[in-house]
Amino acid sequence: MTQMNLIGADISDLQAEQSVLGAIFLDQDAMDRISFLEPRDFSAIRHQKIFEVMRYMHDENYPIDLVTVTEEYLKFGRLEDSGGPMYMTELARSCPTAANVEHYARIVRSKAVRRRGSAAGLKVASLANEDFSTDEEYFSAIESTIAELRPQEAGKMQSFRENRERYFEHLTKRAEFILTGFNLFDEWAKGVWRGWLYVLAGRPSAGKTAKLLQMLYGIARQFRDKKSHMDAGAVLLWSQEMDVLQIYDRWLSMTTGVNYNRIKSKNLDDDEMAKLKGRYDTLEKYPLFVQDSAGVTIDEIRATARQFKRKQGKIAAIAVDYLQIMSIPQKRGESRSEAIGRVTKAAKQLARELNCTFILLSQMTRDSENASKPQLSHLKESGSIEQDADVVEFLWHDSEDTDQGGKVVQSFIAKGRDIGVKEFRLLFKGWMQRFEELPPKERDFGNAKNRKR
């Protein structure tokens, strides 16, 4: 058989590749059993090209044999790229049976991953000499290089029979809903769910950040059975408009009742200072982490979250305040909405990968101020936001709904995958940055009749 001397390949690489291609010549249905294999997995360029032609013909439902593959090359006058008629004939004769094609294909992929690993190491080393505007761009380039190593796994159809044991094992595990501390919401939705992309939206001064901080505190605390368990995992917050000490001001006011304005103005008496120190001692035990960076990227969030996953073992929530001021570069010919769509898709993928909730704060359009009730179309630069989100919550103010105890804020779950839609009333006590849940009230929205919720 013809042999090729190629850098990064040895005879065992080539034999496995030839066996795969020979098996396909014997039985084109073998392609269905090796759908995980990619053209780049072949070390020989001619093998890559032959496999690409075979995959194209299989996708188009064309027969695959020595004659048809040769004709496909002849159409474009590129037969020599395949090694010529003699080499194609040798490939067709190289494999006595197609029964072991999956075994050969896994050898090919395994060796390809190691070749790419070596190449990635060299590329990472060379990146140190390139000109990046920030260290974060440098880190992103490294992560992108490493990410390319992983094979592009295809999904697999699964039957009831093969999943029986796995399914009943799944039923014996405790459901992992994550409590938020908003009791009415938790009773209805069972908390926030792992794998969710949760979008919390509102106009400026609607209380988005305050609501988020209270949710994150509840998620970190996991208060049940009259006890704080702190067992859901790390809670990671990226704050782009307030620094970490301003975030602490809000959390400490919310949890102690010490007046927020007195904390901000540093006008505290001895009793208030003692309360704050006592609460700070408690919060030190909570898995709450804050990064106060402006213009954060989704790549940076992904890298940091993965590091926490390795160190902490479990992440409960990732939160970003807020989406539209993230650093979101646009590719050539890409609209702003499409660029934001890439971020929301990546956020959803990260929530699934790390088995946590990803909470994104979002702005609303000015048009929403003229509406009697927010709609999904009122999400600023919506498009993919509403499609990718599992839950969309709007915070808004209805001037007709008042309470002497503070500002009444309407919470409308406008989209809820697996939970439905729901409306809540919240009382915001701004002097301590805390929301309290109010009972439902008969309301009139637009032309709808008054109804109890």
pLDDT of residue 154: 54
> What is the residue range of 417's domain?
177-438
Q: 194 and 93 share a domain?
A: no
Q: Is the sign of the CA dihedral 265, 266, 267, 272 positive or negative? A: positive
**Averaged over 128-151, what is the pLDDT?**
76
Q: Which helix (H) or strand (E) holds 423?
A: strand 422-429
How far apart, in whole angstroms, are the C-alpha atoms of residue 246 and residue 84?
70
pLDDT of residue 8: 44
- For residues 46 and 124, the answer to whether their CB atoms sit within 8 Å is no
- Mean pLDDT, all residues of the chain: 84
Query: Which of these three, 97, 115, 133, is where a domain ends?
Result: 115
How far apart, in whole angstroms, are the C-alpha atoms of residue 351 and residue 194?
7
Q: 245 and 356 share a domain?
A: yes
In a domain, 154, yes or no: no
Give me the number of domains the chain comprises.
Answer: 2
When pLDDT is cut at 50, 70 and 90, the band that residue 449 belongs to is: very low
Cβ burial, residue 232 (10 Å; 0-12/13-18/19+): buried
Q: 360 and 256 share a domain?
A: yes
**Please, which residues have CB within 8 angstroms of residue 87's CB and are 6 or more apart in sequence?**
2, 46
pLDDT of residue 175: 74
pLDDT of residue 69: 86
In order of 8, 14, 44, 71, 89, the CA distances from 5 in angstroms are 9, 10, 9, 27, 20
Q: What is the pLDDT of residues 215-259, one digit of tens each?
A: 999 999 999 988 999 999 999 999 988 899 999 999 999 999 999
Q: Which helix (H) or strand (E) holds 349?
A: helix 336-354
CATH of the domain at 222: 3.40.50.300
When pLDDT is cut at 50, 70 and 90, the band that residue 383 belongs to is: low
Per cent of the chain over pLDDT 90 is 36
**Averaged over 393-419, what is the pLDDT?**
89
pLDDT of residue 252: 95
pLDDT of residue 186: 95
In a domain, 290, yes or no: yes
In a domain, 443, yes or no: no
Q: Is the pLDDT of residue 373 over 60?
A: yes
pLDDT of residue 1: 40
**Please, which residues have CB within 8 angstroms of residue 434's CB and are 6 or more apart in sequence?**
210, 214, 253, 254, 257, 428
In a domain, 253, yes or no: yes
Q: What is the pLDDT of residues 299-330, one digit of tens each?
A: 888 888 988 898 888 999 999 987 777 877 77
In a domain, 164, yes or no: no
- For residues 344 and 385, the answer to whether their CB atoms sit within 8 Å is yes
In a domain, 139, yes or no: no
Q: 222 and 371 share a domain?
A: yes
Higher pLDDT, 9 or 266: 266
How far apart, in whole angstroms, are the C-alpha atoms of residue 160 and residue 102?
24
Highest-pLDDT range among 71-80, 176-185, 440-449: 176-185
pLDDT of residue 206: 84
Residue for token pair 């988020």: 212
When pLDDT is cut at 50, 70 and 90, the band that residue 151 belongs to is: low
Q: 305 and 407 share a domain?
A: yes
Query: Which of these three, 100, 115, 130, is where a domain ends?
Result: 115
What is the radius of gyration, based on Cα positions, of the chain? Answer: 29
In a domain, 147, yes or no: no
Of 95-104, 431-440, 441-450, least confident by mean pLDDT is: 441-450
Q: Is the pLDDT of residue 293 over 90?
A: no
Q: What is the pLDDT of residues 165-223, one digit of tens each?
A: 888 988 888 777 899 999 999 999 999 999 999 999 988 888 999 999 999 999 999 99
Of 69-83, 276-290, 350-364, 398-412, least confident by mean pLDDT is: 69-83
Q: 87 and 189 share a domain?
A: no
Q: 190 and 284 share a domain?
A: yes
Query: Which of these three, 99, 115, 131, is where a domain ends?
Result: 115
Q: Is the pLDDT of residue 96 over 80?
A: no
- For residues 82 and 46, the answer to whether their CB atoms sit within 8 Å is yes
Within 182-324, strands assigned E span 192-193, 197-202, 223-224, 227-228, 234-239, 288-291, 315-321
Q: 415 and 267 share a domain?
A: yes
pTM of the model: 0.69
Q: What are phi and psi of 393, to 5 degrees?
A: -115, 130
pLDDT of residue 3: 41
Q: 99 and 185 share a domain?
A: no
Q: 418 and 335 share a domain?
A: yes
- Bridge-based pairing of strands 391-396 and 407-416 is antiparallel
Q: 303 and 424 share a domain?
A: yes
In a domain, 263, yes or no: yes
Q: 101 and 181 share a domain?
A: no
CATH of the domain at 44: 1.10.860.10
